[in-house]
């Protein structure tokens, strides 16, 4: 075992040494591990032309221009409404527009009832509002990089997908009736001029595979259950159709009931963590900039008063964590009766035992329109069949989309498993960090541990040993959590020690290395954790420390690694082959046999299921429920999640 540890440590050091020998300083994690990545390395595309060209497109001579753009659902408004709210004009900003604050349609102008009918917001009086430019920061960074002629910095702000070709040969499965065909380019999709402008501002040159398939399906009004690998662009895949649909849809009818201060969003996006909700909100704000579509976020741990004020100013898209949303619904400050679109990000997490009761309450027991009336989209990188079965309650005549295998990890992430005894973990981590430091490259490292106490103690120990670190977990207050993320992102504390609260969805640029200091008990949690690196076509490195305590993970890990073309250490294969160590006792870790995820992917095609809801209570949901069952996952219980049924500690 020590031999195995030694082998991998030395291969890492050899990689680092090889990097040091290079003439050019390495700028990428590919450079960190040339021996591993050599066989898969792709040449980086030449830098595209300066972004100024794409961020400020010249209006077409005859076609519709941004200056004449009026969201379609406003075009047939009554003359009194139009008199009160002149059409928006990006070309003719209001006199008070300041740099970075561009004009947008005023609250009375867009969204009809959705913009706070009965929500107490001024209607018709104010024609223009000031919408902070969500691109200001990246534009400034681009400008600074261009001025400094530093191509490295410049490259970091490209979203052209340095290695997006990596996704091209991924197998795609769709099932369901009359599946709309995929598209190859954004130009083929009628998203609307204002949203197209934002796609360009985001520097998305072409859609990722999940976007190519999911966006046409959603634009066709179909319900969707979509599974695609971490970092492959699922956020835009559900945001674009929602924003486009709201822009083009009919004005919302003013609800008859409800208090004067009740907000009536048209779309609801639910996500499991506060930080992920904040991130989706930021993304959605960029996508909806100057479209007149207003996005508000509500999550726990932050003062509710500001969120109430935001809601009062009007909301089309509400991004929320379940706990805070239930609170708002109970106070009658939000009504779901106008909901047209429901999206669940990390849908499998939202429907496992920790969240399911709250989510069912929101979706089924409040005033939300039923499936078939609203449009529902469920997205995740992992989708166990038992969760698919539950999720089908929320859907009507839906299409199932799998980009890559359900629950697989991307080949962009180099996975390494090292045998490390508990007592040696800290010194081993130190070796890795030293090797990384020796490369001279400033990168971010995310270290996952199992418990909140473990996170605190590892953070202190790292700091004491000269490695600036911070931590995020459920016992830290929201301010501390946000501060930790900020200092990590900025590189001030380039090591973040985290529980599973940071495992899902977070898109942090420059995370080059994820270390599973403690492995989770659930292979899906592992997939999400390592997915914090190797995103958007970039490569990444994930190292996990394995020992006897993780024996139930041997088989699922070996299978996952094999599936994503990783070298499986011989000792891990031997562990995996032991009948008692395979994690084959059922529960979530079972990847093969029994019609689980390794076989068919849409549970409706599984011969053991009987269509919608037909197989509930049988098969792999309750069956085999020994280890690794839903409530028993210590990554949720002991880690950041506070135990099954207790997500409110961190939402
Ligand atoms: N078409 C595109 N072109 C270039 N970059 C893109 C495109 N679509 C998304 N991205 C970028 O890819 C990154 C990952 O996207 P996103 O966070 O939506 O991934 P995800 O699939 O939701 O991942 P996870 O499963 O971890 O939640 C983001 O930085 C996003 O800006």
Check residue 142 and give its pLDDT.
Answer: 63
Residue 476 in contact with ligand 1 by CB distance below 6 A: no
Output the pTM of the full model. Answer: 0.75
Check residue 403 and give its pLDDT.
Answer: 92
Please determine, for residue 493, whether its predicted confidence score (pLDDT) is greater than 90: yes
The DSSP element (H or E) to which 469 belongs, if any, is strand 469-472
Q: Which ligand 1 atom sits closest to the C-alpha of 235?
A: 18
647 within 8 A of 500, measured Cβ to Cβ: no
Average pLDDT, the chain: 75
Residue 215 in contact with ligand 1 by CB distance below 6 A: no
Count of CB atoms situated within 10 Å of the CB of 67: 12
* Both tokens assigned to 619: 């098969």
Q: In testing the pocket of ligand 1, which one of 48, 214, 235, 524 has its CB within 8 Å of the most ligand atoms? A: 235
Determine the distance separating the centroid of ligand 1 and the alpha carbon of 214, expressed in angstroms: 14
Reported residue count of the chain is: 651
Q: Which ligand 1 atom sits closest to the C-alpha of 505?
A: 27
Q: In testing the pocket of ligand 1, which one of 157, 236, 270 has its CB within 8 Å of the most ligand atoms? A: 236
Nearest residue by C-alpha to atom 30 in ligand 1? 233
Determine the distance separating the centroid of ligand 1 and the alpha carbon of 138, expressed in angstroms: 16
CA distance 331 to 335: 10
Q: In testing the pocket of ligand 1, which one of 135, 159, 201, 504 has its CB within 8 Å of the most ligand atoms? A: 159
Determine the distance separating the centroid of ligand 1 and the alpha carbon of 234, expressed in angstroms: 6
Residue 404 in contact with ligand 1 by CB distance below 6 A: no
The pLDDT > 90 percentage for the chain reads 57
Q: Greater confidence, 124 or 241? A: 241
Q: What single-letter DSSP state applies at residue 606? A: S
Residue 102 in contact with ligand 1 by CB distance below 6 A: no
Check residue 581 and give its pLDDT.
Answer: 53
The mean pLDDT of 169-193, rounded to a whole number, is: 93
Determine the distance separating the centroid of ligand 1 and the alpha carbon of 211, expressed in angstroms: 10
Determine the distance separating the centroid of ligand 1 and the alpha carbon of 283, expressed in angstroms: 10
Count of CB atoms situated within 10 Å of the CB of 151: 12
575: pLDDT confidence band, cut at 50, 70 and 90?
Answer: very high
Nearest residue by C-alpha to atom 15 in ligand 1? 233
The mean pLDDT of 408-422, rounded to a whole number, is: 93
Please determine, for residue 419, whether its predicted confidence score (pLDDT) is greater than 50: yes
Check residue 601 and give its pLDDT.
Answer: 77
Please determine, for residue 164, whether its predicted confidence score (pLDDT) is greater than 70: no
263: pLDDT confidence band, cut at 50, 70 and 90?
Answer: very high
Sheet holding 511-516: strands in order across? 413-419, 540-546, 511-516, 444-448, 495-498, 469-472
Check residue 627 and give its pLDDT.
Answer: 30
Q: Which ligand 1 atom sits closest to the C-alpha of 536?
A: 12
Check residue 144 and give its pLDDT.
Answer: 61
Cα–Cα–Cα angle for 137, 141, 146, rounded to 5 degrees: 150
Determine the distance separating the centroid of ligand 1 and the alpha carbon of 210, expressed in angstroms: 10
Please determine, for residue 175, whether its predicted confidence score (pLDDT) is greater than 70: yes
Instruction: From 159, 174, 311, select the one nearest 236 (Cα to Cα).
Output: 159
Backbone dihedral angles phi then psi of residue 511, each to the nearest 5 degrees: -75, 105
Please determine, for residue 538, whether its predicted confidence score (pLDDT) is greater than 80: yes
Determine the distance separating the centroid of ligand 1 and the alpha carbon of 380, expressed in angstroms: 12
Nearest residue by C-alpha to atom 27 in ligand 1? 505
Give tens-digit pLDDT for 315-372: 999 999 999 999 999 999 999 999 999 999 999 999 998 899 999 999 999 999 999 9
Determine the distance separating the centroid of ligand 1 and the alpha carbon of 58, expressed in angstroms: 27
Determine the distance separating the centroid of ligand 1 and the alpha carbon of 118, expressed in angstroms: 36
Output the CA torsion 355→357→363→365 (10° steps): -160
Q: Greater confidence, 255 or 434? A: 434
Check residue 165 and give its pLDDT.
Answer: 65
Determine the distance separating the centroid of ligand 1 and the alpha carbon of 41, expressed in angstroms: 21
All residues at 6 or more sequence positions from 410 whose CB lies less than 8 Å from its CB, including other chains: 166, 229, 230, 231, 232, 404, 531, 534, 564
Residue 272 in contact with ligand 1 by CB distance below 6 A: no
Q: Greater confidence, 218 or 14? A: 218
Residue 231 in contact with ligand 1 by CB distance below 6 A: yes
Check residue 259 and give its pLDDT.
Answer: 66
Please determine, for residue 244, whether its predicted confidence score (pLDDT) is greater than 90: yes
Check residue 14 and give its pLDDT.
Answer: 41
275-313 burial, b for 16+ CB within 10 Å, e for fewer? bbbbbbbbbbbbbbbbbbbbbbbbbbbbebeebbebbbb
- Nearest-Å Rg of the Cα atoms of the chain is 25
Residue 204 in contact with ligand 1 by CB distance below 6 A: yes
Please determine, for residue 310, whether its predicted confidence score (pLDDT) is greater than 80: yes
Determine the distance separating the centroid of ligand 1 and the alpha carbon of 237, expressed in angstroms: 9
The pLDDT > 70 percentage for the chain reads 64
Check residue 184 and give its pLDDT.
Answer: 94
Determine the distance separating the centroid of ligand 1 and the alpha carbon of 278, expressed in angstroms: 15
The mean pLDDT of 23-35, rounded to a whole number, is: 37
Range with the poorest average pLDDT among 66-75, 127-136, 219-228, 310-319: 66-75
Residue 159 in contact with ligand 1 by CB distance below 6 A: yes
Nearest residue by C-alpha to atom 1 in ligand 1? 207
Q: Greater confidence, 68 or 399? A: 399
Check residue 510 and give its pLDDT.
Answer: 94
What ipTM does the predicted assembly reach?
0.99
Please determine, for residue 645, whether its predicted confidence score (pLDDT) is greater than 80: no
Q: Which ligand 1 atom sits closest to the C-alpha of 230?
A: 25
Residue 208 in contact with ligand 1 by CB distance below 6 A: yes
Please determine, for residue 422, whether its predicted confidence score (pLDDT) is greater than 60: yes
Nearest residue by C-alpha to atom 20 in ligand 1? 231
421: pLDDT confidence band, cut at 50, 70 and 90?
Answer: very high
Determine the distance separating the centroid of ligand 1 and the alpha carbon of 612, expressed in angstroms: 31
Please determine, for residue 90, whether its predicted confidence score (pLDDT) is greater than 90: no
289: pLDDT confidence band, cut at 50, 70 and 90?
Answer: very high
Residue 239 in contact with ligand 1 by CB distance below 6 A: no
Please determine, for residue 157, whether its predicted confidence score (pLDDT) is greater than 50: no
Q: Which ligand 1 atom sits closest to the C-alpha of 528?
A: 26
Residue 232 in contact with ligand 1 by CB distance below 6 A: yes
Q: Which ligand 1 atom sits closest to the C-alpha of 237?
A: 18
Check residue 590 and give its pLDDT.
Answer: 47
Determine the distance separating the centroid of ligand 1 and the alpha carbon of 490, expressed in angstroms: 19
254: pLDDT confidence band, cut at 50, 70 and 90?
Answer: low
Give tens-digit pLDDT for 189-224: 999 999 999 999 999 999 999 999 999 999 999 999
Please determine, for residue 102, whether its predicted confidence score (pLDDT) is greater than 70: no
Give tens-digit pLDDT for 602-612: 888 775 543 44
Determine the distance separating the centroid of ligand 1 and the alpha carbon of 167, expressed in angstroms: 12
Determine the distance separating the centroid of ligand 1 and the alpha carbon of 6, expressed in angstroms: 36
CA distance 188 to 180: 13
313 within 8 A of 107, measured Cβ to Cβ: yes
The mean pLDDT of 475-480, rounded to a whole number, is: 96
Check residue 141 and give its pLDDT.
Answer: 65
CA distance 245 to 254: 18
Specify which residues 514 forms β-bridges with: 446, 542
Check residue 250 and give its pLDDT.
Answer: 87
Please determine, for residue 76, whether its predicted confidence score (pLDDT) is greater than 80: no
Q: Greater confidence, 6 or 502? A: 502
The mean pLDDT of 7-28, rounded to a whole number, is: 38
Q: Which ligand 1 atom sits closest to the C-alpha of 507?
A: 17
Check residue 280 and give its pLDDT.
Answer: 98
Q: In testing the pocket of ligand 1, which one of 382, 507, 529 has its CB within 8 Å of the most ligand atoms? A: 507
Residue 201 in contact with ligand 1 by CB distance below 6 A: no
Q: Which ligand 1 atom sits closest to the C-alpha of 380?
A: 25
């Amino acid at each position: 075992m020590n031999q195995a540890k030694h082998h991998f440590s030395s291969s890492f050091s050899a990689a680092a040494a090889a990097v040091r020998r290079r003439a050019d300083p390495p700028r990428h994690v590919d450079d960190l591990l040339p021996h591993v990545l050599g066989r898969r390395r792709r040449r980086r595309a030449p830098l595209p032309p300066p972004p100024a060209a794409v961020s400020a497109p010249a209006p077409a001579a005859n076609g519709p221009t941004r200056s004449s753009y009026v969201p379609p659902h406003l075009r047939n408004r009554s003359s009194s409404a139009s008199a009160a709210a002149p059409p928006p004009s990006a070309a003719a900003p209001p006199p008070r527009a300041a740099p970075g604050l561009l004009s947008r349609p005023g609250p009375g102008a867009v969204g009809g009832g959705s913009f706070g009918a009965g929500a107490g917001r001024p209607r018709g009086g104010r024609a223009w509002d000031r919408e902070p430019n969500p691109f200001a920061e990246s534009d400034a960074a681009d400008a600074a990089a261009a001025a400094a002629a530093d191509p490295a910095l410049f490259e970091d702000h490209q979203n052209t997908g340095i290695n997006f070709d990596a996704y091209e040969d991924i197998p795609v499965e769709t099932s369901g009736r009359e599946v709309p065909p995929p598209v190859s380019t954004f130009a083929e999709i009628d998203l609307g001029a204002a949203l197209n402008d934002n796609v360009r501002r985001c520097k998305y040159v072409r859609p990722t595979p999940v976007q190519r398939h999911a966006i046409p399906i959603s634009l066709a009004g179909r319900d969707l259950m979509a599974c695609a690998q971490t970092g492959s662009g699922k956020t835009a895949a559900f945001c674009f159709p929602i924003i486009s649909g709201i822009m083009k849809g009919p004005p919302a009818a003013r609800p008859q009931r409800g208090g004067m201060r009740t907000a009536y969003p048209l779309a609801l996006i639910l996500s499991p963590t506060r930080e992920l909700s904040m991130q989706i909100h930021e993304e959605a704000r960029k996508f909806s900039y100057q479209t007149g579509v207003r996005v508000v976020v509500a999550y726990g741990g932050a003062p509710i008063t500001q969120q109430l004020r935001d809601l009062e100013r009007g909301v089309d898209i509400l991004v929320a964590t379940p706990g805070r949303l239930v609170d708002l619904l109970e106070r009658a400050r939000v009504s779901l009766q106008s909901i047209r679109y429901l999206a669940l990000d990390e849908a499998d997490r939202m429907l496992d035992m920790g969240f399911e009761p709250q989510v069912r309450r929101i979706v089924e027991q409040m005033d939300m329109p039923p499936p078939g009336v609203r449009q529902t989209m469920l997205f995740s990188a992992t989708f166990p069949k038992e969760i698919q079965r539950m999720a089908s309650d929320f859907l009507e005549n839906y299409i199932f989309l799998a980009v890559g295998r359900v629950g697989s990890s991307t080949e962009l992430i180099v996975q390494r498993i090292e045998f490390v005894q508990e007592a040696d973990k800290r010194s081993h981590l130190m070796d890795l960090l030293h090797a990384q430091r020796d490369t001279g490259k400033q990168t971010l490292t995310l270290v996952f541990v199992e418990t909140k106490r473990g996170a605190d103690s590892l953070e202190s120990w790292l700091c004491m040993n000269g490695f600036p670190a911070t931590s995020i977990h459920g016992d830290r207050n929201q301010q501390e959590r946000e501060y930790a993320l900020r200092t990590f992102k900025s590189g001030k504390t380039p090591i973040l020690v985290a529980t599973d609260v940071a495992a899902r969805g977070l898109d942090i640029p420059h995370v080059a290395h994820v270390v599973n200091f403690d492995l989770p008990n659930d292979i899906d949690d592992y997939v999400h954790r390592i997915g914090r690196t190797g995103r958007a076509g970039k490569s990444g490195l994930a190292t996990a420390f394995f020992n006897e305590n993780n024996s139930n993970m041997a088989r699922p890990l070996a299978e996952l690694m094999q599936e994503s073309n990783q070298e499986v250490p011989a000792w891990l294969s031997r562990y995996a082959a032991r009948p008692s160590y395979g994690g084959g006792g059922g529960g979530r870790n079972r990847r093969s046999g029994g019609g689980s995820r390794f076989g068919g992917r849409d549970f409706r095609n599984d011969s053991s299921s009987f269509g919608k809801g037909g197989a509930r209570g049988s098969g792999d949901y309750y069956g085999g429920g020994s280890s690794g069952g839903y409530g028993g996952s210590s990554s949720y219980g002991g880690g950041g999640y506070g135990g099954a049924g207790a997500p409110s500690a961190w939402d």
